[in-house]
Amino acid sequence: MKRIFFKGRFIFIPILAAVVLSLVSFVVMQLWNNLLPAILHVGIITFWQAMGIFILCKILFGFGKGGRGWGNGGGGPWMRRRMEEKFKNMTPEEKERFKQKMAERMCGGFSGHHRGGRFGDWEDFKTEAPKATE
């Protein structure tokens, strides 16, 4: 029984993918034709145009899993493991500086832009001298 299912899976997966693509294209077409002509005064589209729009959006905006963002774990599991390893190897003083730096970045001290991008200066925070408190 397992062999039959395994052999049939090679035929089943492309058929399932075509059905899902067709269903999503039909939904895109219906949403476009029922909403956008009245709202934006654009023309109606065909099924094939809807499929093209869907594929173009997937190319431009990604084929990712979705639903993962800032509030949901902070990235992929590889990133979480990497940060856990770095955090384990830090001294208590380095951990405290790291926490302060992240608090400045996320909560306070936000000046309207990210310095250095998303992970800009995380790699060199160990090289910074500790701030003198007087």
Query: DSSP for 92-125?
Result: HHHHHHHHHHHHHHHTS---SS-TTSSSTTTTTG
Average pLDDT, the chain: 77
| Residue 113: pLDDT band with limits 50, 70, 90 | very low
Alpha carbon distance 21, 15 (integer Å): 10
- The residue among 45 and 5 whose pLDDT is bigger is 45
| Residue 110: pLDDT band with limits 50, 70, 90 | very low
| Residue 88 pLDDT | 86
Domain ranges for the chain: 2-60, 77-108
How far is residue 29 from each of residues 16, 17, 20, 22, 85, measured CA to CA in Å? 20, 18, 14, 10, 47
pLDDT in tens, 56-71: 999 998 877 655 444 4
| Residue 3 pLDDT | 58
128: number of CA atoms within 13 Å, CB side? Answer: 16
Percent of the chain whose predicted confidence (pLDDT) is above 70: 65
| Residue 134: pLDDT band with limits 50, 70, 90 | low
Q: Do residues 50 and 25 touch, judged by C-beta distance below 8 A?
A: yes
